[in-house]
Amino acid sequence: MTFSNFNLNPRLAAGVTALGYQTPTPIQQQAIPPIMAGRDVMGLAQTGTGKTAAFALPILQRLEQGPRGRVRALIVAPTRELAEQIHQAFNDLGRQTRLRSIAIYGGVGIGPQLQALRAGADIVVACPGRLLDHVRQGTINLTQVEVLVIDEADRMFDMGFLPDVRRIVRAVPEQRQTLLFSATMPDDVRGLVREVLRDPLTVQIGHSAPVETVSHAVYPVAPHLKTPLLTELLRATDTGSVLIFTRTKHRAKKVAQQLERAGFRATELQGNLSQNRRQAALDGFRAGTYRILVATDIAARGIDVLSISHVINYDMPDTTDAYTHRIGRTGRAEQTGTAYTLVTPEDAIAVRDVERVLGQKIERRTLPGFDYRAAPPAQDREFARDPRPIQGMRRSTPARDSQWAAPAQPMRGPRNAPTGGYDRTGARPRP
């Protein structure tokens, strides 16, 4: 199948060519025809599958007909970064259509958004909170909306946005086309689908992409040796752009600083940064000024940087879904990627849960030459233990094994324990 099968008008076909897309991705193959036919569609697909173009192309094709300068398509997304990316995709794909897209989100001045709205936009890509501010103030007119897209509905739910999404749905006409995308289908999202979609067609792209295009490995290590191991791993590995995940904002900041001090071009992306600094980090990472971005899950939501060769989980994610979401940042659009996870003995069961979802065993690796026996520095105990218990995935008990955190009893090295010191059941290594 090629894009010509969709009978896109020449201006949109030019947009597709300009972006270098040759073959439609599976979600595009399945979703574009019914969306173009006007049906409501529920897309079970994660970021990285090409889902943005799957809804953007049919929307642009539809909007080319009819009046200009009124909001006829509304896309609701959970984070500013994702909203920006979707907005950018509309701009890139629709460059020749002269349709106007604007992005609306909080954390930035409202002035430019008001100006853009007054100037007339055809497509609005928005985060729920700021969009509702505009609705309440009467500064946006949603009465002409023909297509509503709810993107990453499961994240919207995770972030507590579902009530806002329902308010938004009430602010748009009942007579409309509705598209909803979600990587997973928790009950609340299923409920939303029943409420807001009409006779929807379900299009499902399984969690297969991470297995097929991403190779996975875990590096067992004691908590206090995570940063030294990460540093050595980065030195020893040939990488493109690297995205590193930590479990807390503070750890993202700290790890980025440690890597910078070790001579890497690294920066951080986490929720405590101002919008300007977040944008600068993202732009710098995309442009290659920074080779390494250390981020939290929420801040990194939807990051769309095609050259990410490695995703490294500095901390094991909280849920198997979060693991899939994180590694969805690499191995995108038919490229291959690598996912490394630094795991402590506490993560043993979480690793097994991930293996179950992936349907494969993840290779345990040790880094040759790395001193797994090193004691933690006397001063800095910061990383001598995990930041907080993992929720959402079953975990081993007892939750904490003092042997792993105590400086006087450093972790056994690979010479003694080839798997890095613990077995899959999370049991303490035998002396």
Q: What is the CB-side half-sphere exposure of residue 60 using CA atoms within 13 A?
A: 33
Q: Does 304 bind ligand AMP (CB under 6 A)?
A: yes
Whichever of 25 and 338 has its CB closer to ligand AMP, that residue is 25
Give residues 201-230 in contact with ligand AMP (rule: CB under 6 A): none
Question: Least Å distance between CB 57 and ligand AMP?
Answer: 9
Q: For residue 363, what are its two tokens?
A: 């290779």
Whichever of 19 and 217 has its CB closer to ligand AMP, that residue is 19
Q: φ and ψ at 121, to 5 degrees?
A: -120, 145
**Segment lying near ligand AMP (by CB under 6 A), choices 23-31, 105-113, 232-240, 290-298:** 23-31
**Segment lying near ligand AMP (by CB under 6 A), choices 24-32, 205-213, 377-385, 406-414:** 24-32
Of positions 8, 15, 21, 183, contacts ligand AMP by CB under 6 A: 21
**Segment lying near ligand AMP (by CB under 6 A), choices 21-29, 197-205, 319-327, 403-411:** 21-29
Q: Does 24 bind ligand AMP (CB under 6 A)?
A: yes
**Segment lying near ligand AMP (by CB under 6 A), choices 22-30, 173-181, 345-353, 380-388:** 22-30
Question: Least Å distance between CB 334 and ligand AMP?
Answer: 7
Whichever of 90 and 323 has its CB closer to ligand AMP, that residue is 90
Phi-psi region of 90 (alpha: psi -120 to 50; beta: other; left: phi over 0): alpha
- Cα–Cα distance for residue pair 3/358, rounded to 1 Å: 31
Question: Least Å distance between CB 215 and ligand AMP?
Answer: 19
Q: Does 30 bind ligand AMP (CB under 6 A)?
A: no
- Cα–Cα distance for residue pair 404/362, rounded to 1 Å: 22
For residues 259 to 298, the per-residue mask of contacts with ligand AMP, x marking binding by CB under 6 A and - elsewhere, is ----------------------------------------
How many whole angstroms from its chain centre is CA 65?
33
For residues 136 to 175, the per-residue mask of contacts with ligand AMP, x marking binding by CB under 6 A and - elsewhere, is ----------------------------------------
Of positions 108, 110, 280, 306, contacts ligand AMP by CB under 6 A: 306
- Cα–Cα distance for residue pair 62/26, rounded to 1 Å: 22
Whichever of 126 and 132 has its CB closer to ligand AMP, that residue is 126
Whichever of 28 and 267 has its CB closer to ligand AMP, that residue is 28
Of positions 6, 8, 12, 25, contacts ligand AMP by CB under 6 A: 25
Question: Least Å distance between CB 60 and ligand AMP?
Answer: 14
Question: Least Å distance between CB 185 and ligand AMP?
Answer: 18
Give residues 331-360 in contact with ligand AMP (rule: CB under 6 A): 332-333
- Cα–Cα distance for residue pair 431/426, rounded to 1 Å: 15
Give residues 35-54 in contact with ligand AMP (rule: CB under 6 A): 47-53
Q: Does 181 bind ligand AMP (CB under 6 A)?
A: no
Question: Least Å distance between CB 52 and ligand AMP?
Answer: 3
Whichever of 31 and 358 has its CB closer to ligand AMP, that residue is 31
- Cα–Cα distance for residue pair 427/197, rounded to 1 Å: 48
Question: Least Å distance between CB 81 and ligand AMP?
Answer: 11
Q: For residue 66, what are its two tokens?
A: 């009819």
Question: Least Å distance between CB 55 and ligand AMP?
Answer: 9
Question: Least Å distance between CB 8 and ligand AMP?
Answer: 12
Question: Least Å distance between CB 79 and ligand AMP?
Answer: 13
| Contacting residues for 343 by C-beta, under 8 A, at least 6 apart | 218, 219, 220, 221, 316, 350, 351
Binding site for ligand AMP (CB under 6 A): 19, 21, 23-25, 28, 47-53, 304, 306, 332-333
